[in-house]
Amino acid sequence: MDFKTIEVLYEDIFKSYNNPFLSEHIKKIIELDVYLPYSSTFFCITNTQDLNFEYISKNMHACLGLDRHELKSKGMRFFWSRMHPEDIEMWLKALNDLMNYTLSSIAVEDRNNMTYTWNYRLRNGNDDYVNIVQNTTPLEFDKDNKPIIGLAHYTVLHHEIPTQVCATAKLLNDNKEYVTKFFNNYSQKLLTDGISNRERDIIRLLVLNKSSKEIAEKLSISPNTVDTHRRNILKKLNISSTGELVGMLKLNHNLI
């Protein structure tokens, strides 16, 4: 797939009809970057309408070995050119599905509380592919309430860590807990469509070593209901124990 085709598909996914401006709180985020420590993560303010980066944090170079100013001047097209060719089609499918789900299933008043996660492989400054987990929170919307400017956090993982291209949409509910609203694994159906979003939330908390009682409190359900979900999860995945499930998912953390 050539990069002109990628651009056309990407622009179609995020097609919009007005030009938003960056609000004052975005400027504050940029000012805070000076004080943030160096780590294996960096963030950008992305503009899917103009296909550019409004801002790239200082950690980007430490994480990827790429020139920060070159990335900002060349924009998303340059970033895409470094993506692993095998991941591009799945990545575009994931973005399209997330956008369609948001516009069709998430109420306008809830879209400020959404967060989206997906992953792919990217060629770093040494021309080695690394795994990128991207989490994006919308900051600005167009007149049709489509998210087009976002705060994107990138976590860089070693290339030997097994990953599969997945996409997740989560909603911050009234209890200030993220609830999975959409999930798809575009590489391999380890967690099949038979796993419900509620079961996926329980799996995520099990990986965090939460007990049935703790999970029940976080999800506002009874411990007995949690235990029923746990038994159903094991049966659906043909796994004999919760420990086996947790071990599998810790090696494939993007699946949840």
Question: Of the candidates 162, 187, 212, which is a domain's last residue?
Answer: 187
Predicted pLDDT of residue 22: 54
Question: Is the domain of 162 the same as that of 254?
Answer: no
Gap between the Cα atoms of 157 and 170, Å rounded: 22
Question: Is the domain of 76 the same as that of 161?
Answer: yes
192-203: buried (b, 16+ CB within 10 Å) or exposed (e) per residue? eeebeeebbbbb
Q: Is the pTM of this model over 0.75?
A: no
Q: What percent of the chain has pLDDT over 90?
A: 41
Question: Is the domain of 113 the same as that of 224?
Answer: no
Q: What is the DSSP string of 81-111?
A: TTB-HHHHHHHHHHHHHHHHHHHHHS-GGGG
Q: What is the pLDDT of residues 95-140, one digit of tens each?
A: 989 999 999 999 998 998 999 999 999 999 999 999 999 999 998 8
Q: What is the pLDDT of residues 3-27, one digit of tens each?
A: 677 777 777 777 766 655 556 667 7
Rounded to 5 degrees, what angle do the CA atoms 183, 184, 185 make? 135
Question: Is the domain of 204 the same as that of 177?
Answer: no
Phi/psi at 127 (nearest 5 deg)?
65, 25
CATH code where residue 204 lies: 1.10.10.10
Gap between the Cα atoms of 25 and 30, Å rounded: 9
Task: Look at the block and give the residue holding tokens 């420990």.
Answer: 243
Number of domains composing the chain = 2
- State how far the alpha carbon of 24 is from the alpha carbons of 33, 51, 126, 139, 140, in Å: 15, 21, 36, 11, 12
Question: Is the domain of 195 the same as that of 182?
Answer: no
Gap between the Cα atoms of 56 and 34, Å rounded: 12
Question: Is the domain of 168 the same as that of 117?
Answer: yes
Question: Is the domain of 174 the same as that of 206?
Answer: no
Question: Is the domain of 122 the same as that of 91?
Answer: yes
Question: Is the domain of 117 the same as that of 231?
Answer: no
CATH code where residue 46 lies: 3.30.450.20
Phi/psi at 168 (nearest 5 deg)?
-135, 140
The parent domain of residue 243 ranges over: 189-256
Please give the structure tokens belonging to residue 253.
């953390």
Gap between the Cα atoms of 40 and 42, Å rounded: 7
Question: Of the candidates 144, 160, 187, which is a domain's last residue?
Answer: 187
Map residue 43 onto helix, strand or coil: strand
Strand duo 114-123 + 129-141: pairing? antiparallel
